[in-house]
Structure 1
């Protein structure tokens, strides 16, 4: 069960690395424009804010990866729990303020990983 839980934590980390790339490097490119459903003008105006947001997503990914590679299982568990909770809070806030889609793309995988960690 722990293997499956850790695999899902890795998926959540990979998603946040992908968000980092989208927000920091592809925000004004065709993929970024399509993903976030915005015009080039709006994306250009908000590119600095998006890059900042991408950096924070990178920190979330780094924390989850830290939890996956830490050598002390009890501490690794605590790290993963903390960063999954951060992802969930960020996903709920994003869903409430930006788009409900964020709840499903960001928060739901983290909730599932959190549940699996607790069950393992």
Structure 2
């Protein structure tokens, strides 16, 4: 996403198609992990509010739950064309606040533990 401002409804709806498009590209490739399904589900949320399928809770594969939290932490703590980096502390605060509703509690706990033990995001 390189637009330096807020997306309109049409643009956001187009963005929401990327998991399905990428799934369609990956589903025929053999991987030792469920990569295609991870890509399809990585915007799913525990409460069913995510996209594209509206999956909730245990309908979401664990790998996608992990990718989801990693994606949120990376996105919030990195610069985007439409906003400056928000920082790792704000990202970790967000996943803490949304633990259990948006994000899997066990995945959030594991992520927080990694950062508590001293992991640092690579510098650009």
Q: TM-score range by the shorter chain?
A: 0.3 to 0.5
TM-score (ref. length: structure 1) = 0.33
Larger helix share, 1 or 2: 1
Higher relative contact order (CA 8 A, sep 6+): 1
